[in-house]
Structure 1
């Protein structure tokens, strides 16, 4: 055993083997086979692709998918950038509170949030009932089953994913640079545009790419909120997969969708290095090289306006800012509106789930637990919940062990190899989920695990491992390796050093990775619907079937329970971090104990 750990110390990359083995068997090899299937291997032809582009309906759905994804990404950026800026500009305690309020909807089930918008926008939803009661309309407005409803639902789900990367990058920007720009006569907007915004471009790029690629694979929200003319390619692929089961055509459509995502990622790329300064400088240089004549004109006009700027700067140098009060008011109103948009739908479902009437109503005419009793009294509901819990726990255990080993091994490798291995292991997260589901279906079909709990666990784990690796790797990035060296210098072996020194310090990251792995598995529906067969029904699948066929008020109670899960998860993570602080301090004093 001692020799084994000594070899691992010299070759940490071996620790990544279990993670890449699962990824290769369930996703890697099947995605290659899927591509060969789309080419009609071994004959090899482009007939399936020609057939796809030969039908105008297919091309229209593809264009529609790109259009909806691009518009949703643009809306998220327009709302998310000022929101992230205001969060970073807030005081420390307020900033942490706002970030927590953004994380809560991010961790909440996407299906539960989609159901919330059905309750709000439906013909008998909150808005139409309110307008009818006020006598402003005589018949319900068509607020649902259209493109606008799709945008509202998609932006609501993806906005936290735009805000969080922006906040991460903006918090690393030195605010003294803005102050230096102001001290040299730049107006507030000029200082922001010339200094702060270029430095925040890595966050803009990362957030926009993540949102766009994930929107490409959206399936549930457009199907639940959109009409027949708002179908996306994922819906088309899933429908073709379930009806015709022509694997070659399904594979071709899946790879066309994947090609769009790959082209966008290769054109813009995800900057994981955090070199914002270089990015900003290269961005400015690229614009100057493309528009040299514009730069000359701008410089000439700047020289003409220099005396006026100097005079204005001298006059305003010692004047108090008159617009700070109004800007604070506008900023506060904006933050409140965005938080209302993110949190009110979930809060509404929770309140309506206690309704005492025969139907959901707001405000409730009376309080009752009837819909919760309906959930716990119906075997089809709690059996589905128990199946989801079982799968989620097993996925959390498997992905946490495998992902932690992989993160530790990747952290100890060379920087270039580290970046490559991280990108490979995150592939199932960055690819459209429908493509991942079809590849997993093909892989589990070869293994004979379709329609089994084991197959679903493996299919969920390929994405959950990526979440664990990201979170544990972030914890290891702040880990001082000199603590391990100090322990080894006091005759502690590799295993003892890991258990007594490394593991206690990275425990919060491991628990955080396990929580994210469980939540990602518990909420999964697209991959589960493809690989689960008809024998296994998880809670999200049961909810989706009921939403499509009947609006059972019991779904409100289920959604409330799903909304409660991320709140409990954040409490667990906070307690874990709080309890780990004293042990971390003791280890800093005496790392060999």
Structure 2
């Protein structure tokens, strides 16, 4: 009891387990990695100099930046109008569209990459269709090139762009647009002068997240690209597998990390989007000698007021001529984006029921042979059970540590909370390959390379971040007066926590556990470095088969992993629905 009272006075103590795991597996190793890169204790930049003196590595570095920028720009061009149209849709349609964006985001990136190998291959869906229509005589080279890599990268990161944009756009007061229209602004002017500036925080967040994720791409360039399409993550992984010296690897990892940190510094300095911060300097910097010109322009402006007023009253209540056409174009655009996001997964699901000796789309017949092959092959089932055991352990460990951390951070000072939240979210805001190398070094220190315990700890530093984000969002809407009311009725800290707090934030805890499970079950980059040669999880087994292209059973595995997020979303919805019914019942009892 005394310990709980002390924690109540110092709530950040609840975050100690989460920070301890983060420090041992990621914090200390990342410092060690930096010291290795500068040859401590002699401290030299010879490894960085050697990196930039090699033309091949410099070429790969600039190619990584180029590919990340292109993929980010494409995601923004597609994602912004998609998010805008989703927010403008009716509530029921908007909810459905957001769920449809969530499903591919929760689906394994490995499965989605595999789906594009099936669609773009020489005997894939597109080439077979074009050959069947006799539009081409030979298969087009759609796979193992830069275009295929861009298609896969954009497909994986597009939900990461859309979701922050939707979140910000939903918070914009739509009456501001109506006010601009009532003042005579055209729809385009109202959008660019009012709506777009207010949506910039979402643009910043989405752009930053997509770019950093693209920097760490490892599987997609390897599976969809050619030898000339390798990224720095592929170079680091290859060096780690073949070299006995960590110094060049550490230097390459920190160069990639430096790029990510620069982007975080540029885009992360101000995400408030408040316009007064930019308006004030503009007023202060106006030259005095332009006042006369300003008076002249004001005079000309007043002359045109009568004309604009008459024109405004004529057109104000008239419907826009192309509004129906715009709605059709918008609906078609959103439909195409949803097809782009969902169709590859659907192809894998349908193809997994193929009755032929090889995978084909559409299947010539229906059969469960590939599912029987999956459950009858010990190598697949062993990989599945290993992944399941690891994911369940990670979910339990990260949910406990992450919930305690979120609970403690929600009750600390705002500035300290922001700083600690940034620290705990570091593993998911940095390139995955950098986190993987740091975790590899941390597990070497503990002697846990190639063990399930090591993989669990490596996955936990990622999963805790998801749990903290989701539970903290739930606690932000939690009314702490309910806890005070329970304590006023002589309920102790433990009883208040068990009977009041935990039941009300249960949906957030379950959601955090689900995301932690998915993050662990689908993880492949970190696992490929820390698993050694003794453990093969299901994603690693899939990656081997994608590279070798020998076993069609992978379609059945991909189908199961594609349907898994749908089941999780249904479970989360049922949990939220039951929680809502309980709250409504409690409110009704209080009124009665």
TM-score norm. by structure 2 comes to: 0.96
- 2:139 equivalent to 1:137: no
| Cα gap change, 1:164 to 1:218, in 2 (>3 Å) | same
Matches within 5 A, 1:84-483: 84-269=83-268, 275-276=272-273, 278=274, 280-283=275-278, 300=297, 303=301, 309-483=308-482
* Aligned-partner Cα distance in 2 for 1:300–1:437: 60
Further displaced range: 409-418 or 4-13: 4-13
Cα deviation, residue 109, structure 1? 0.2
Cα deviation, residue 310, structure 1? 3.4
* Aligned-partner Cα distance in 2 for 1:433–1:294: 52
* Aligned-partner Cα distance in 2 for 1:230–1:423: 33
* Aligned-partner Cα distance in 2 for 1:192–1:469: 35
Q: Are the aligned partners of 1:27 and 1:440 in contact in 2 as well (CA < 8 Å)?
A: yes
Question: Tell me, what secondary structure is at the counterpart of 1:400?
Answer: helix
Q: Are the aligned partners of 1:209 and 1:270 in contact in 2 as well (CA < 8 Å)?
A: no
| Cα gap change, 1:294 to 1:414, in 2 (>3 Å) | farther
Q: Are the aligned partners of 1:205 and 1:270 in contact in 2 as well (CA < 8 Å)?
A: no
Q: Are the aligned partners of 1:397 and 1:514 in contact in 2 as well (CA < 8 Å)?
A: yes
* Aligned-partner Cα distance in 1 for 2:280–2:56: 42
* Aligned-partner Cα distance in 2 for 1:68–1:51: 24
Question: Tell me, what secondary structure is at the counterpart of 2:172?
Answer: coil
Question: Tell me, what secondary structure is at the counterpart of 1:140?
Answer: coil
Cα deviation, residue 582, structure 1? 2.9
* Aligned-partner Cα distance in 1 for 2:155–2:431: 19
* Aligned-partner Cα distance in 1 for 2:77–2:279: 21
Q: Are the aligned partners of 1:352 and 1:364 in contact in 2 as well (CA < 8 Å)?
A: yes
Cα deviation, residue 394, structure 1? 0.1
Further displaced range: 240-249 or 263-272: 263-272
* Aligned-partner Cα distance in 1 for 2:557–2:283: 55
Match of 2:487 in 1: 488
Q: Are the aligned partners of 1:391 and 1:456 in contact in 2 as well (CA < 8 Å)?
A: yes
* Aligned-partner Cα distance in 1 for 2:438–2:182: 57
* Aligned-partner Cα distance in 2 for 1:541–1:283: 49
Match of 1:541 in 2: 540
Further displaced range: 67-76 or 399-408: 67-76
* Aligned-partner Cα distance in 2 for 1:182–1:508: 41
Cα deviation, residue 286, structure 1? 6.8
Question: Tell me, what secondary structure is at the counterpart of 1:423?
Answer: helix
Cα deviation, residue 297, structure 1? 9.2
* Aligned-partner Cα distance in 2 for 1:299–1:270: 39
| Cα gap change, 1:66 to 1:305, in 2 (>3 Å) | farther
| Cα gap change, 1:297 to 1:517, in 2 (>3 Å) | farther
Further displaced range: 301-310 or 402-411: 301-310
Cα deviation, residue 483, structure 1? 0.2
Deviations, residues 351-372 of structure 1 (Å, cap 9, x unaligned) = 1111111111121110001111
Matches within 5 A, 1:6-45: 6-45=5-44
- 2:559 equivalent to 1:564: no
* Aligned-partner Cα distance in 2 for 1:378–1:232: 34
Q: Are the aligned partners of 1:504 and 1:583 in contact in 2 as well (CA < 8 Å)?
A: no
Deviations, residues 120-150 of structure 1 (Å, cap 9, x unaligned) = 0011110011111121111110101111111
Question: Tell me, what secondary structure is at the counterpart of 1:212?
Answer: helix
Task: Report the aligned-residue RMSD.
Answer: 2.1
Structure 1: which 5+ runs fail to align?
A: none
Q: Are the aligned partners of 1:483 and 1:588 in contact in 2 as well (CA < 8 Å)?
A: no
Question: Tell me, what secondary structure is at the counterpart of 1:363?
Answer: coil
- Count of matched residue positions in the alignment of Structure 1 and Structure 2: 586
| Cα gap change, 1:51 to 1:489, in 2 (>3 Å) | same
Q: Are the aligned partners of 1:504 and 1:584 in contact in 2 as well (CA < 8 Å)?
A: no
Q: Are the aligned partners of 1:219 and 1:235 in contact in 2 as well (CA < 8 Å)?
A: yes
Structure 2: which 5+ runs fail to align?
A: none
Deviations, residues 487-510 of structure 1 (Å, cap 9, x unaligned) = 000000001000000000000000
Deviations, residues 417-445 of structure 1 (Å, cap 9, x unaligned) = 11001000000000111010110111110
* Aligned-partner Cα distance in 2 for 1:318–1:80: 32
| Cα gap change, 1:562 to 1:466, in 2 (>3 Å) | same
Further displaced range: 4-13 or 71-80: 4-13
Q: Are the aligned partners of 1:132 and 1:140 in contact in 2 as well (CA < 8 Å)?
A: yes
Cα deviation, residue 7, structure 1? 1.3
Match of 1:500 in 2: 499
Question: Tell me, what secondary structure is at the counterpart of 1:144?
Answer: coil
Cα deviation, residue 584, structure 1? 2.8
